[in-house]
């Protein structure tokens, strides 16, 4: 977050070309750094070397690893940002950004070490950038990783003044012999769900189309089913599961995780179920939050479309050894994570092509 790299040229009041006249305010960029630097410093770890202001962030890999593997993930927040921009509320999307990155890292058992962000804006408004970074810093604190650096870039002529986009790359570490994945999954393993906090950061193009365009709901309007405004519901931050997953790994025999993002529950869990096995899941074990039902009803969205677009109330899945299933539920419950037994892994029949099968119906959906 130490560099600002806009592009363009224009003229000043005397007719000469200048960066400011082209729409790039370097002073505003410097002011933004002044505002968010204290926030970023709080999201640190002992391994961070130096501080903000350099061209690269330095991180000393310590801890006596035997055969460490570095894991890396890059992601963004997507069109949820359109809701934040419409509401002029920017202090939560940073949490979404961190969640999308670190919860991918932890799937393989990696501990998130650090994150670097990229914020592209049409026009630098220092206070707005500081709000975004405040959310990113808080997300890093929740995930236990450092905010090592990043970039703020002003793009006049390419983006409208009030628009911005954000992305980040995170790096984690895991011992080579502790990598989680499909090769560890066995018949009889238990699939445990961790409840989502709402839509998280996927499916917003469909959600916005249904609720704002088709049904013409107001972001400021109170929705009885939510107990708050539509905008507040849509901006509910994505749950960060990283520390909870690592705690589960430390205390139980976890085979693998699946982060439920684009593609839905079945699509993402299928990525960690090996050939020859099938995860049989029961919809009757949980009831999706009201926001999912509202989208389905108001948009007449078919179940198959809902389930491949949204998380439907399940944000992360753990596949654990059957003898550790009860212990896993106890660990997550103690950490205040909504969790339940979702299904089991079985040998696939010759006629089964899908690696994940959803059966039954959601109660009251």
Express each pLDDT in 137-146 by its tens digit.
999 999 999 9
Buried b (16+ CB within 10 A) or exposed e, 269-297: bbebbeeebbbbbbbebbebbbbbbbbbe
What's the rounded Cα separation, in Å, for the pair 114 and 190? 31
Give the tokens for residue 66: 């035997």
Give the pLDDT band (50/70/90) at residue 283: very high
Give the pLDDT band (50/70/90) at residue 8: very low
pLDDT at 61 over 80: yes
- Contact present, 121 and 151 (Cβ < 8 Å): no
> Nearest CA to 59 among 51, 136, 71?
51
pLDDT at 17: 57
pLDDT at 302: 96
Q: Give, in order, the Cα–Cα distances in Å from 202 to each of 9, 59, 173, 196, 342.
A: 37, 31, 26, 12, 21
- Contact present, 150 and 101 (Cβ < 8 Å): no
Q: How far is CA 291 from the centre of its chain?
A: 18
pLDDT at 5: 40
Express each pLDDT in 240-264 by its tens digit.
999 999 999 999 999 999 999 999 9
Mean pLDDT confidence for 187-209 = 97
- Contact present, 94 and 138 (Cβ < 8 Å): yes
Give the pLDDT band (50/70/90) at residue 197: very high
Give the pLDDT band (50/70/90) at residue 63: confident
Task: For 317-358, give the secondary structure using H, E and C.
Answer: EEEECHHHHHHHHHHHHHCCCCEEEEEEEEECCCCCCCCEEE
pLDDT at 37: 72
pLDDT at 7 over 50: no
pLDDT at 112: 97
Mean pLDDT confidence for 307-321 = 98
Give the pLDDT band (50/70/90) at residue 185: very high
Give the pLDDT band (50/70/90) at residue 170: very high
Check residue 247 and report its DSSP letter.
H
Express each pLDDT in 70-88 by its tens digit.
999 999 999 999 999 999 9
pLDDT at 67 over 70: yes
């Amino acid at each position: 977050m130490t560099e600002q790299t806009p592009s363009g040229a224009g003229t000043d009041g005397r007719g000469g070309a200048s960066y400011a006249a082209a729409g790039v305010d370097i002073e505003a960029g410097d002011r933004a750094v002044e505002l968010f630097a204290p926030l970023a410093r709080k999201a640190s770890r002992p391994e961070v070397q130096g501080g903000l202001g350099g061209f690269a962030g330095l991180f000393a890999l310590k801890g006596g690893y035997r055969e460490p593997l570095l894991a890396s993930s890059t992601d963004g927040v997507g069109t949820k940002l359109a809701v934040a921009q419409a509401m002029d509320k920017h202090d939560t999307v940073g949490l979404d950004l961190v969640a999308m990155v670190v919860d991918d890292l932890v799937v393989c058992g990696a501990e998130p070490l650090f994150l670097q962000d990229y914020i592209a804006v049409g026009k630098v408004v220092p206070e707005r950038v500081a709000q975004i970074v405040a959310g990113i810093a808080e997300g890093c604190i929740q995930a236990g990783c450092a905010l090592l650096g990043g970039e703020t870039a002003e793009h006049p002529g390419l983006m409208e003044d009030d628009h911005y986009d954000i992305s980040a790359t995170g790096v984690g570490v895991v011992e080579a012999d502790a990598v989680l994945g499909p090769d560890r999954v066995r018949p009889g393993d238990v699939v445990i769900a961790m409840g989502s906090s709402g839509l998280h950061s996927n499916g917003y193009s469909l959600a916005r189309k249904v609720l704002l365009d088709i049904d013409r709901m107001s972001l400021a309007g109170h929705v009885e089913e939510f107990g708050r405004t539509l905008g507040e519901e849509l901006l509910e931050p994505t749950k960060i599961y990283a520390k909870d997953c690592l705690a589960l790994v430390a205390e139980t025999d976890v085979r693998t995780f699946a982060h439920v993002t684009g593609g839905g529950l079945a699509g993402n869990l299928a990525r960690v179920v090996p050939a020859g096995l099938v995860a049989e899941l029961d919809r009757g074990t949980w009831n999706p939050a009201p926001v999912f039902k509202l989208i389905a009803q108001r948009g007449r969205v078919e179940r198959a479309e809902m389930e491949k677009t949204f998380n439907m109330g399940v944000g992360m899945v753990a596949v654990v050894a059957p003898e550790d299933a009860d212990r896993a539920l106890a660990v997550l419950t103690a950490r205040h994570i909504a969790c339940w037994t979702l299904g089991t892994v079985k040998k696939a029949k010759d006629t089964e092509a899908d690696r994940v099968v959803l059966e039954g119906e959601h109660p009251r959906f």
